[in-house]
Structure 1
Amino acid sequence: MASPSTTAAIFAFILMSSLAIATSNDLGFYYFVLMWPGAYCKQTNAGCCTPKSGKPALDFFVKGLYPFSTDGTPLTKCNRTPFFNNQISDLEGELLKYWSNIKCPSSEPKNLWRSTWKTYGVCSGLSEHEYFKKTLELKNKIDLLSILGENGIVPTDSGDYSFLDVKRAVSKGVGATNAIRCSKNQWDETIVYEFYVCVDKDAKNIIHCPVLPNFTCTPRVVFGSFTYDMLKNKTAIEENPIRMSVDDE
C-alpha cells in the first residue's frame, strides 16, 4: 500500500497534468509584445536604471509572450509549476540582452523572468526552456528596429512621425495585423511604447490577430532615442528617490 506522501505526490502529478491539458485546449493564440526602452525611460523624471547584470542591447526589449484563448481572454496562473533558473542557463546571454529589467532601483532580470513564467509561461503548455527559447526566436524573427528603419522611421529626439506610417511599416514588415500601445513622456508628448504581434498556439508563426487590443494613439507620435547614457546607476537613484509608477511586469 502506498504511503500518504507517495499518494499525495501522485495526486499532485495528476492534477498538474490535467491543468496542462486544459491549458493546451484553451489556448488560442499569443500576444508577443515588444517594448521600446527609450519610451520606458522617458515616461517620468525617474528615468531608468542599468540592471545589476549589466547593460542590455540598444534594441527593442521582450515584454512578454502572453497566452490568450480564442475569444481574447487572457490565460494566467494556470498552475504552480516552479521556475528554475538553471533550466534556461543556456539562454541567459540572449535574455540579458533582450529581456532585461531597467526599472529603478536596479534589480536582477531573473526576478522578471520568474514573474513572467509563474504568471504566463505556466499557461503555455510549454516547458520553461521551450517557453523562453521560443520567445527569443520570435524576437530574432521580428526585428522591429530594422523594419522601422527600412521605412525611414528611426529613433530621434528632434521630431515625430505619422502614427499611420509607423503602423503600416510594422504591418508590412511582419505581414499581419498588429497593435501599438502608446504612452506619454514627461513633456506630455505621445510616444510609441509597445508593439503587439499575434502568434499561433505553437508560438512559432505570426498570424493575423483574432482579437486586437483597443489602444489609442495620436496622429503624430514620438519614437525617441535609447542610449546607455539614459541608464542611471545606483548612486543616481540614491540621490533621486522618485520611483517609476508604470507597470513593468
Structure 2
Amino acid sequence: MASYILPIALVALFMFSTALQTTSIKDLDFYHLVLMWPGSYCKQTSAGCCIPKTGGEPELDFFVKGLLPYSNDGKALTQCGMSPFYLDEISDLNNDLNSYWPNIKCPSSESRHLWKNTWKTYGVCSGLSEHDYFKKALDLRSKIDLLSIFKKHGIISTDYADYSLAEIKQVINREFGATTAISCSKNQWDETQVYEIYLCVDREARNIIPCPVLPNFTCASRVVFGSFTYDMLKNVSSLADNPIRMRIR
C-alpha cells in the first residue's frame, strides 16, 4: 500500500499545479512591461553595480526588468505553476539576455539566477513557452527603443540636469498613445531619479496598449535621469566618483 502513496501524491500535485496554471492563464488580460534604467540602479547605494560573472558588459541602455502578467481588475498573476527553468531553452537568446537583461548586482553573480526567478515567478503565468516569454520581452524592448525616443525629445542621461516627470510621461504618451507609470528611487545624493518605466502590453505580448490598470508611484515633480557608463560597472560607484554636481533647469 505504501508504495502507491508517493505516485498518487505526485499525480495529485501535478493536477493541482496544472489547474492553477490554467486558471491563471485564463485570467490573463495584459502585461506590464517593466524597463529599468541601470544608471539609477548603480547610484542607489554605495554598493554600486558590477559586471555579471558571465556574459560580459551589458549595453548602455534600458534593461528588461520583467514582463508581468495581469488581469483587468489589477491582480498580478504570479507563481501559477511549477514549470522548471531550462537554460538551454534560451541559449539562442544569450547575447540579448546578457546585453539587456543582466544581473548587475554587487558582488558579481550569474544572470541565469535572475532569469530563473523571473520565469518561475511571472513567466509560468503567461501561457508562453520559456523561450517565447523571454524572446517577446526582448523584442518589445527593442521595438520600443525608449532611450532613442528620449534622446529625440531632448531627454539625455546626464548627472548635471533634471527633467519634468510630467514631460517624460507626455513624451511616452505621444509616441505610443498610451499612459505609463514611472517608479523612482533616491540616489546617493538624495535626488529622486527615474528607476523603472511601466508600459502595458496586449495579451499576445505584441503591442503597447492603453493601460487598463497602472501602479501608483510617488515621485518628485522633477527627476534625475542619470548617466550610465561602463566605468560605473568596472569601478563601484561612490560619492568620490563625482563630488561636484550642478543642476541645469
**Is the 1:28–1:200 Cα contact (8 Å) retained in structure 2?**
yes
Corresponding residue to 1:65 among 42, 64, 67: 67
TM-score between both structures, scaled by the size of structure 1: 0.88
Query: Which one-letter code corresponds to 1:24 in the other structure?
Result: I
Is there any run of 5+ residues in structure 2 with no aligned partner, and where? 238-249
Structure 1 distance, partners of 2:71, 2:191, is 34
Corresponding residue to 1:165 among 164, 167, 172: 167
- For residue 87 of structure 1, what is the aligned residue in structure 2? 89
Query: Which one-letter code corresponds to 1:68 in the other structure?
Result: Y
Give the C-alpha shift of residue 141 in structure 1: 1.1
Give the C-alpha shift of residue 105 in structure 1: 0.4
Give the alignment's Cα RMSD to 1 decimal.
1.8
Q: Is it true that 1:34 corresponds to 2:50 in the alignment? A: no
How do 1:70-219 residues align onto structure 2 when only pairs under 5 Å count? 70-219=72-221
Q: State the Cα deviation string for residues 6-62 of structure 1 (Å, max 9, x = none).
A: 766665554444333212211121110000000000111111111112100000000
Structure 2 distance, partners of 1:40, 1:175, is 28
**Is the 1:56–1:98 Cα contact (8 Å) retained in structure 2?**
yes
TM-score between both structures, scaled by the size of structure 2: 0.88
Is there any run of 5+ residues in structure 1 with no aligned partner, and where? 238-249
Structure 2 distance, partners of 1:66, 1:55, is 26
- For residue 52 of structure 1, what is the aligned residue in structure 2? 53
Query: Which one-letter code corresponds to 1:25 in the other structure?
Result: K
**Is the 1:47–1:232 Cα contact (8 Å) retained in structure 2?**
no
Query: Which one-letter code corresponds to 1:123 in the other structure?
Result: C
SS at match of 1:207: coil
Q: State the Cα deviation string for residues 203-237 of structure 1 (Å, max 9, x = none).
A: 1121111111111211111111000000146xx69
Q: State the Cα deviation string for residues 120-148 of structure 1 (Å, max 9, x = none).
A: 11111111111111111111111110111
Q: State the Cα deviation string for residues 167-206 of structure 1 (Å, max 9, x = none).
A: 1112222221111111111101111110000011111121
How many residues align? The count is 233
- Richer in strand (by share): 1
